[in-house]
C-alpha cells in the first residue's frame, strides 16, 4: 500500500474527517467535470495525495491510534509569502512593542499605554480608563472583535486563520527555525529518518533551545501587559517578581513550545473551534483558496502531457502545493478544515505555471460562484463585487454602529459616581429626640487621576440632615464634602436623620465634584420611617 507518486514514499491513510467540506465544493463543481467531481464527492476515497482515477482503497485500522504525519513544508517565495512575512512582523511587533508604549496620566496613575491592572482593578488603554463597573466597554470590544471576525470572514474568507491567528504566526516562526537549523524540506526529512547520532542530538537540542527561547519571550511579553513593563522586567530577572509572574511565564512558555513547536496544524484541526465556526460562515460568495479542477484535471506529468497533447489538464501533479503547505493538506481535494487559506500553495503553483508556460491561477483565491462562472467560460467578477456584498455591508454597519455607540458612551461618561446601599436591619431608628434615623453605605467614585472634593447633598427629604462615621452628629448638615483620593472609591457610612413627623419616602443622594467640571451623579434610595409609607 505505498504510493509511488508521493515524494517521501509514505502512504497517507484516509482521513475522512478532513474531507467533510470537500462535499461542498464537489456540489459546486459537479456540473463541470464529471470524473473529478465523482472522485471528490466520495470524500473518504480522497487521501491527502489523492489519485483521481484510483479506485477507493480499503483502509483497515490496524492500530487503535493513528500516528501523526509530520509536516515538513518547503520554502517558497511569492506575493503571499511576502504578505505573510509582513503580517508576522506587524502582529509580533504589536505584541512585543505595545507594553513599552508610555502614556502620561499624571502622578496618580500608571504611565503605561496599555495596562490591565488587576490589583487595582483598572484597565488602561491609551486615553481610555475602564473601571470594573464599566466592564461593558470591554464586552463591547469583544463583541466588535467577534463581528469583525464575521466581517473579515464573509469578505475575504478565513484570512484570520491564514495570517493573523497567533497559532499561525508562531507556527510560521517555528517552521522558519526548523528551516534555519535543519535546512529545507528534504534535509529535514532526511534528518528525521536518520539515526540518533551526536550530531543529530546536538542539532535537536539547539533547535529545541531556540523553541524554548521563543516560548520564554512569548510568555514573558504577556505578563508585561499586567504590570509596569520596565519595573517588571527588572524584577523578573532579579528574582523579585511575584510568583504568579513566574508561573504565568512558565505556563505560557510551555504552551507556546508545545502548541507552536510540536502540535502545530493539529491545533487547527483538532483543538480549535474557529475553523468549524468559520467554515459555517462561508458561502459561495466567500473568497477561499481553491483548486480549479476543471482546468487542472486530469493530471499528468510534463512528459505524459507532451506525449499526448490535449489529453491532460494544467496540473502536472508536481505536488509543490502540498509540499509548501504549513498544515500538510492537499488543496486539490477541495476546501477542508485543515486549510488556513494562507495561500502559500498559490505562490508555489503560480511559480510552476510560470515555469511551464501556462497561465497562473490554477490554484487561486476565488469564490465558488466565480469558479462556476469561470468554468463556464464567463468573465469573473471584479474583486470589489466579491468583497462588497450585502452580508459584508450588513456586518460593517453593525460593527461601526457598536463602535460609534461605544465612542459616544466614552465621550459622555462621567468621572464621578455614587452608589448607595441602605441598611435594612433595622430599616429605621428612633432617636432620643424623636427624630428618625436611617443608615446608608455610600460609595463615592472619583475616576479622575487627581484627588477631588465631592459634595454630597440630600434631595427630596425635607429637614433631612446627615452625618457620617467621620463627621460628628453635632456637625450634621444637609450637605457634606468629602475628599476622594485620585482614581479611587471611598466608602462612607452615612446616617441620615429626619424630623419626627417624617414618613417613609424615596429620596436621592446627589454627588457634585467641587471643581470646574462640576460633574454630578445621583442615586435614588429609600428613607424608612414608622407608619404608613407615602
Point out which residues bind another protein (CB under 8 A).
13-17, 42-45, 56-61, 63-68, 263, 266, 270, 423-426, 429-434, 437, 439, 469, 472-473, 495, 500
* Minimal distance, residue 425 CB to another protein, in Å: 3
Q: Dump the DSSP string for 113-161.
A: SEEEETTTTEEEETTEEE-GGGTHHHHHHHHHHHHHHHHHHHHHSSHII
- Residues in the chain, total: 534
d(CA 135, CA 409): 12
* Minimal distance, residue 108 CB to another protein, in Å: 21
**Per-residue burial over 57-82, b = 16 or more CB atoms within 10 Å of its CB, e = otherwise:** eebeeeeeeeeeeebbbbebebebbe
Query: What are the CA-CA distances from residue 505 to residues 422, 429, 495, 511 (Å)?
Result: 13, 15, 16, 20
Judge residue 7's burial from the number of C-beta atoms within 10 Å of its C-beta, 0-12 exposed, 13-18 middle, 19 or more buried: middle
Nearest residue (CB) to another protein, 56 versus 462: 56
* Minimal distance, residue 266 CB to another protein, in Å: 7
* Minimal distance, residue 298 CB to another protein, in Å: 21
Question: Is the torsion defined by CA of 102, 104, 109, 114 positive or negative?
Answer: negative
For residue 193, the tally of other CB atoms under 10 A from its CB is 8
* Minimal distance, residue 56 CB to another protein, in Å: 5
Nearest residue (CB) to another protein, 42 versus 372: 42
Quick check: helix, strand or coil at residue 455? strand
Nearest residue (CB) to another protein, 143 versus 429: 429
* Minimal distance, residue 37 CB to another protein, in Å: 14
Grid look-up 490535449 returns 310
Nearest residue (CB) to another protein, 65 versus 384: 65
Grid look-up 491513510 returns 13
* Minimal distance, residue 40 CB to another protein, in Å: 12
Grid look-up 511559480 returns 351
Nearest residue (CB) to another protein, 45 versus 289: 45
d(CA 156, CA 164): 13
Grid look-up 513544508 returns 73
Backbone angles phi, psi at 420, to 5 degrees: -130, 130
Nearest residue (CB) to another protein, 197 versus 432: 432
Nearest residue (CB) to another protein, 89 versus 431: 431
* Minimal distance, residue 528 CB to another protein, in Å: 12
Q: Are 75 and 179 in contact (CB under 8 A)?
A: yes
Nearest residue (CB) to another protein, 197 versus 425: 425
Amino acid at each position: 500500500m505505498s504510493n509511488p507518486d508521493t515524494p517521501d514514499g509514505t502512504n497517507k491513510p484516509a482521513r475522512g474527517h478532513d474531507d467533510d467540506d470537500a462535499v461542498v465544493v464537489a456540489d459546486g463543481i459537479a456540473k463541470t467535470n464529471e470524473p473529478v467531481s465523482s472522485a471528490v464527492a466520495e470524500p473518504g476515497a480522497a487521501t491527502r495525495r489523492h489519485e483521481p482515477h484510483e479506485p477507493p482503497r480499503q483502509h483497515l485500522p490496524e492500530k487503535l491510534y493513528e500516528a501523526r504525519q509530520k509536516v515538513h513544508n518547503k520554502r517558497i517565495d511569492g506575493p503571499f509569502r511576502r504578505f505573510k512575512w509582513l503580517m508576522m512582523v506587524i502582529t509580533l511587533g504589536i505584541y512585543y512593542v505595545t507594553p513599552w508604549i508610555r502614556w502620561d496620566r499624571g502622578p496618580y496613575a500608571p504611565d503605561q499605554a496599555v495596562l490591565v491592572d488587576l490589583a487595582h482593578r483598572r484597565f488602561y488603554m491609551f486615553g481610555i480608563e475602564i473601571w470594573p463597573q464599566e466592564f461593558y466597554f470591554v464586552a463591547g470590544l469583544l463583541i466588535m472583535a467577534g463581528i469583525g471576525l464575521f466581517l473579515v470572514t464573509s469578505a475575504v474568507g478565513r484570512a484570520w486563520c491564514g495570517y493573523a491567528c497567533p497559532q499561525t504566526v508562531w507556527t510560521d516562526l517555528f517552521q522558519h527555525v526548523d528551516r534555519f537549523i535543519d535546512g529545507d524540506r528534504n534535509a529535514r526529512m532526511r534528518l528525521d529518518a536518520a539515526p540518533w547520532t551526536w550530531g543529530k542530538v546536538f542539532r535537536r537540542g539547539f533547535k529545541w533551545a531556540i523553541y524554548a527561547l521563543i516560548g520564554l519571550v512569548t510568555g514573558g511579553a504577556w505578563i508585561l501587559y499586567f504590570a509596569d513593563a520596565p519595573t517588571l522586567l527588572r524584577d523578573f530577572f532579579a528574582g523579585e517578581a511575584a510568583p504568579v509572574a513566574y508561573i504565568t511565564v512558565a505556563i505560557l512558555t510551555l504552551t507556546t513550545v508545545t502548541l507552536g513547536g510540536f502540535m502545530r496544524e493539529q491545533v487547527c484541526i483538532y483543538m480549535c473551534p474557529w475553523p468549524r465556526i468559520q467554515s459555517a460562515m462561508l458561502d459561495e460568495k466567500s473568497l477561499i483558496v481553491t483548486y480549479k479542477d476543471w482546468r487542472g484535471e486530469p493530471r499528468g506529468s510534463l512528459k505524459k502531457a507532451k506525449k499526448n497533447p490535449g489529453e491532460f489538464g494544467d496540473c502536472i501533479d508536481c505536488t509543490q502545493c502540498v509540499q509548501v503547505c504549513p498544515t500538510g493538506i492537499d488543496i486539490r481535494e477541495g476546501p477542508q478544515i485543515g486549510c488556513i487559506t494562507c495561500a502559500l500553495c498559490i505562490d508555489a503553483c503560480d511559480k510552476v505555471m510560470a515555469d511551464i508556460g501556462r497561465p497562473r491561477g490554477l490554484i487561486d483565491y476565488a469564490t465558488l460562484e466565480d469558479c462556476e462562472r469561470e468554468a463556464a467560460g464567463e468573465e469573473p467578477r471584479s474583486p470589489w463585487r466579491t468583497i462588497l456584498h450585502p452580508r459584508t455591508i450588513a456586518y460593517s454597519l453593525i460593527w461601526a454602529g457598536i463602535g460609534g455607540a461605544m465612542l459616544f458612551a466614552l465621550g459622555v461618561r462621567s468621572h464621578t459616581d455614587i452608589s448607595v446601599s441602605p441598611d435594612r436591619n433595622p430599616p429605621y431608628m428612633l432617636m432620643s429626640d424623636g427624630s428618625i434615623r436611617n443608615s446608608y453605605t455610600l460609595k463615592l467614585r472619583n475616576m479622575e487621576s487627581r484627588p477631588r472634593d465631592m459634595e454630597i447633598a440630600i434631595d427630596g427629604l425635607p429637614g433631612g440632615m446627615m452625618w457620617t462615621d467621620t463627621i460628628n452628629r453635632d456637625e450634621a448638615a444637609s450637605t457634606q464634602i468629602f475628599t476622594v483620593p485620585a482614581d479611587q472609591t471611598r466608602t462612607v457610612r452615612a446616617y441620615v436623620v429626619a424630623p419626627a413627623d417624617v414618613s417613609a419616602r424615596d429620596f436621592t443622594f446627589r454627588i457634585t465634584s467641587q471643581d470646574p467640571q462640576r460633574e454630578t451623579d445621583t442615586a435614588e434610595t429609600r428613607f424608612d420611617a414608622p407608619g404608613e409609607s407615602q
